[in-house]
Structure formats: structure tokens, C-alpha cells
Amino acid sequence: DQQVKQNSPSLSVQEGRISILNCDYTNSMFDYFLWYKKYPAEGPTFLISISSIKDKNEDGRFTVFLNKSAKHLSLHIVPSQPGDSAVYFCAALRGSQGNLIFGKGTKLSVKP
Amino acid sequence: GAGVSQSPSNKVTEKGKDVELRCDPISGHTALYWYRQSLGQGLEFLIYFQGNSAPDKSGLPSDRFSAERTGGSVSTLTIQRTQQEDSAVYLCASSLGGRTFSNQPQHFGDGTRLSIL
């Protein structure tokens, strides 16, 4: 059973607009959430994270929102740029366990 | 280099052969992780090392899979008697490690693309 779900396999957005990537999880024991970005033939690159005690974390154009009651998080990219086109993975972990639990990813395409 | 290094980048082998994949983590990172990504799937956890010991092997899919880490640095993942379902990208990651993982992002290598014919 998938503990981390990204229900949209793909998303297309116009350059300059907002991209919103969504992620749902089932395990209430997760205490940290991360977003990774992956280009073809490269490993995932860490983007931004959020602790379960927070509801928002911002880093430049990237903001992650966490809604614990809904077990939902989202990544906002504003403004979107063509270089943001990649696969975005949502991941979660428990502080006592090292391994990340990943969603299946969402492929973002930003059109010029 | 400064990042996680994996070799080979690509490996094609015949069913039934053994393969060995190598990971060189970021210097100073005590935690090392192996994941794999099959076609159309997310990353699946395989095994985790803290130093040279592996407290969590829960993700290894069968006893054909094993991994070791020596000197607290380089790790090798070995797959014996490979099967076609072993075809995937095998990714290694490292982090600072320690008692808690929450604030230590894992940094990934570019992976080894394994194809079993």
C-alpha cells in the first residue's frame, strides 16, 4: 500500500505562472517531508523540506505547504520557468528511520 | 568530486549473471542508502548503512541482493543470479547521519542503469 501518493503523473504550466504540485500521505507518523527534482539520466536533487510541526516553508521561488489534518502537502513554484521542467518527487520520513518513502513523481512541463 | 559517485553508469548483463554496483558517498557522510527505480515507479528503498553497519535491510527484495560498506565510505550492492525484473536504475544517496535524520537531506548520485537481457 502506497504511503505517499502523487496522483497527477503530469502537469503543464505556462512560463511565469504558478505551478502547484500535490502530494498525499497516509502515515501520521511521518515527521519530515521533502521535495526532490529529477532531470532525465540524473539523480534526484533535494529542493526543499518541511517539518511536520510547520505548515509552510519558503525558499526563493519554492514554497511547500503542509496540511496535517488532511495529510496533504503541496509545492508551489512561482514564477515557473522552463528550466523547472523535470519530474518532482514528494518524499517522507520518520525521524527514527533513515529511509525516505517516495511518491511516484509528477512530470512538470513549463511552456515558454 | 564533491557529490555522490556511482559506477558503472550503465550495465547490461545476461540473466543469471552476478552484478556489482559501486557507490562512493560524499566525504564525511556517515549514512548511505540504496534505492532503485523501476520503469514508471517511484524510488524504492533497499538498504541503509550507518557507518559500516546496516541497521535496516528491510527493503532488499530477495536473498539474491546483498550490500556491504567498508571503511565507512564506499559501498557495493551485489545482485546474484540476476533476473529480468531486476532491471532498474539503482540509486545511492548519502547524508550526514547520526541519531536523527529529519534535518539531513539525502544527496543522490546519478545512478546505475541496469538492464538484464
Q: Which DSSP string corresponds to A56-67?
A: EEEETTEEEEEE
Q: Which three cell numbers stand for residue B16?
A: 543469471
How many C-beta neighbours within 10 Å does residue B45 have?
21
One-letter amino acid for residue A26 of the chain: T
Q: What mean pLDDT comes out for the span A91-109? A: 87
Least confident of B26-30, B55-59, B89-93: B55-59
pLDDT at A99: 82
| pLDDT exceeds 90 at position B2 | no
- A and B: number of Cβ contacts within 8 A: 66
Q: What mean pLDDT comes out for the span B15-31? A: 95
Q: How confident is the model at residue B100 (pLDDT cuts 50, 70, 90)?
A: low
Closest Cα in chain B, distance from residue A74 (Å): 17
Q: How confident is the model at residue A91 (pLDDT cuts 50, 70, 90)?
A: very high
Which is more confidently placed, A69 or B52? Answer: A69
Please check whether residue B29 is in contact with residue B93, taking contact to mean a CB–CB distance below 8 angstroms. no
Secondary structure class of B86 (helix, strand, coil): helix
Phi-psi region of B67 (alpha: psi -120 to 50; beta: other; left: phi over 0): beta
Q: How confident is the model at residue B42 (pLDDT cuts 50, 70, 90)?
A: confident
The bridge status of strand A106-111 relative to strand A86-93 is antiparallel
Facing A43 at nearest CB: one of B44, B50, B109: B109
| pLDDT exceeds 80 at position B98 | no
Q: Is A16 on the interface with B (CB under 8 A)?
A: no
Supply the CATH number for residue B78's domain: 2.60.40.10
| pLDDT exceeds 80 at position A6 | yes
Average pLDDT, chain B: 90
Secondary structure class of B84 (helix, strand, coil): helix
Element (H, E) at A36: strand A32-38
- Domain range for B101: 5-116
Number of domains in chain B: 1
pLDDT at A96: 67
Q: How many residues does chain A have?
A: 112
Q: Which three cell numbers stand for residue A101?
A: 518513502
Domains of chain A: 4-111 (2.60.40.10)
Q: Is B48 on the interface with A (CB under 8 A)?
A: yes
